[in-house]
Amino acid sequence: MASRNPELDRIRSECEALVRKRALVSAGVAVVPVPFLDVVVDAGILTALIPEISRRFGLAPEQIEAFDPETRKLAWGEIARRGSQFLGLVVTRTIVRQSIQGMATKIISKQVAKFVPLGGQLVAAGLGYFVMRKIAYRHVEDCYSVAKATYR
């Protein structure tokens, strides 16, 4: 569903494309049969990706602090209403850890699947792509909603 702000729609599309590219990297690393290498790489990707998405939407903490007082209050209120934790405005490593813990079953399945010849590696790559994309898309949607409410 398109918003009344085409600039936000463009940013959302760009962020989704960025997420897909990073998810492909995650899938590629998932094929490597080294236990938990993919989890470490995923954490690194998310640690950089989450703040980048927030920044693109103008929702990095330093960007919000530069708003006029009324807009800043509106932005922080909207973030608080939606839950600031996943918006990348608190320690990103905590977000990454909690997001990965939330996907623990898929991650464990991915680790086990790696050691099944060929088919298992394909399953691991698919799960790697899915998990990364799901976590990051959720963040894109959160940022999009906050930005839409803030930049009326």
Instruction: Express each pLDDT in 92-128 by its tens digit.
Output: 555 555 555 556 555 555 555 555 565 667 777 788 8
Question: Percent of the chain having pLDDT more than 90?
Answer: 28
Q: Tell me how far CA of residue 71 lies from CA of 46, 51, 64, in angstroms.
A: 28, 20, 8
- pLDDT tens profile 63-87: 988 999 999 998 888 888 876 555 5
What's the CA gap between 20 and 137, in Å, rounded? Answer: 9
Q: What are phi and psi of 34, to 5 degrees?
A: -110, 120
Alpha carbons 150 and 64: distance in angstroms, whole number = 10
Average pLDDT over residues 38-52: 86
